[in-house]
Structure 1
Amino acid sequence: MPNATSTENLQILLTYGDVALASSLILLVIFISWRLRLRLTSTLLMAAARTVIQLSFIGLILAWIFAREQWYEVLIILTMMTLIASGAAKNRVKRAYKGLLTDTFIAVSISAVLVTIIAIALILRVQPWYTPQFIIPILGLILGNSLTAISLTSNQLVNAFHEQQGRIEMMLSLSATPFEAVHAPIRAAIINGMTPTLNSMLVVGIVSLPGMMTGQILAGADPTQAVRYQIVTMFLICVSSILGCTLSALLIYRRFFNDRQQLILPN
């Protein structure tokens, strides 16, 4: 059974047995999948196994990084996180084109890194800046939400350019500028990318308690401090998401028009 500290600072420590008990609950999910013939059993098993393996692996790495606090090691971790997030965002776009990975990397890295720098330097004022306890979790939170927003925006916008090719070319023939011709799909794509973030902000604290806040409270932190951290992270995620969606849309827009302001469909 978990051990707890004094009631003044209650902290429940989970054992491997507790983790195994939680893992066994996946059997219920598998049973539902089998009973309803959802054909998700193999996916569920793979997802559960990857969850355990990936989180255990990153836990060992973070423990090592936290103990050493070397700036170059932290920088390597941050770079790897950004590259993996860029690849994940790219893979969610169904109609990929040459250069999509570069565009997603630019959108993800600029939006996430810029907002992380603001958080570390101006809000938290962490010294030194590469303190892994702060910069790695913050960048991870921002990247996770940014890649979702960017992938939703990119996927919808690329599909719109393909599906609305006739309408866009008609507007161009009627003397509309390229941006005027595609403003409506760009707007719709950015709104679509921002929807998950905005939905979370609208119900946070009423319907849901976000992960960072819940984790801090379970770890014994002062709830008021946990709330402040959560407010900060929600605003950081919102800014990063809108920056990422906008950059992604503009980069895709640039790819789909040539120097003669003609619509092209890159492969």
Structure 2
Amino acid sequence: MSVIAISWWELALASVLVGALAACTYAARLAVAQELVIAAVRTVVQLALVGFLLETLFSLGGLHWVALMGAAMLVIAGREVTARQKRRFSRGWTYGIGTTSMFLSSFSVTVLALTVLIGPNPWYTPQYAIPLLGMMLGNTMTGVAVALDRLTDTAWQQREMIEARLMLGQPWSVAIADVRRDAMRAGMIPTINAMAAAGVVSLPGMMTGQILAGTAPALAVKYQILVMFLITVGTGFGTFAAVAAAGRRLFDRRERLRLDRLTEARNS
């Protein structure tokens, strides 16, 4: 089965539908029309640039170009994690924790999948490496951002209870255990829900794309199961590492709660 081409006028028709939705929300005074239009424009521009970059990258195919693309994706993901925080660690610690945890989890899981499970030749083939790394980073970014935001905000709200536990002689890890557990759960819920609903409530994006491109459904299902397991592992380890590092950062060497290391975002 060949792939059905999509013409420019069909994309234009889809954009007209988005414009109609924006007009309806504007008429109803829902205050989302401007954000909707901006998001649509960003989608077109960003995906067009990514398409151009990927075509160039696929033609080059060198490991250093793939590594450079991966590094750029990691830097942008770290910025997004930092931007989503209501309360951030000062001196760039939020960015450092976010990027380090995503690097350790997403890159290691991607390399493992490419070298052991999928096995393209060479293992860094851009057609496999970049989409897989993108899915790993995108989902891990969401988990890390949600977990860090929940951790710092809950610690701020429950600071009196945490300090009371410290005064009773509990170590910092016990005093903040409930907060860390809640943050870890919050970061993993989207991934767990996606796994639980896959194939029942919705068809995952990668599987849908492969089927539309003509891949046999049985093969598309195998790839989707593999990718979802990899995403879960990457998100889980990345979220765990971020929560562990951020939780320790909330205390000094004398195990005192140091909320002065947090700064509230100006746009919150």
- Structure 1 residue runs of 5 or longer lacking an equivalent are 1-8
1:227 maps to: 221
Q: Does 1:19 align with 2:11?
A: yes
Q: Residue type of the partner of 2:65?
A: E
Q: State the Cα deviation string for residues 205-250 of structure 1 (Å, max 9, x = none).
A: 0110111000000011111111111000100111111111111111
- Matched to 2:5, the amino acid is L
Q: How high is the TM-score relative to the length of structure 2?
A: 0.94
Partner of 2:204: 210
Secondary structure at 2:175's aligned position in 1? helix
Residue of structure 1 equivalent to 2:135: 141
Residue 31 (structure 1) shift: 2.5
Aligned counterpart in structure 2 of residue 118 of structure 1, from 93, 112, 116: 112
- Other-structure match for 1:153: 147
Residue identity matched to 1:224: A
1:85 to 2:68 alignment: no
CA distance in structure 2 between the aligned counterparts of 1:263 and 1:170, rounded to whole angstroms: 11
Residue 194 of structure 1: aligned partner:
188
The sequence identity of aligned pairs, in percent, is 36
Match of 2:48?
56
Amino acid at match of 1:42: Q
1:100-126 CA-partner distances (Å, limit 9, x unpaired): 111111111111111111111111012
Pairs aligned (count): 259
* Matching residue within 51, 57, 62 for 1:65: 57
CA displacement 1:157-177 (0-9 Å, x = unmatched): 001111111101111111111
Q: Is the 8 A contact 2:147 2:187 kept in 1?
A: yes
Listed as ranges, the gaps of 5+ residues in structure 2 are 263-268
For residues 111 and 66 of structure 2, the distance between their equivalents in structure 1, rounded to whole angstroms, comes to 14
Aligned-residue offset at 1:28 = 2.7
SS at match of 1:25: helix
> Larger relative CO (CA 8 A, sep 6+): 1 or 2?
2
Counterpart AA for 2:48: S
Length-normalised TM-score, structure 1: 0.95
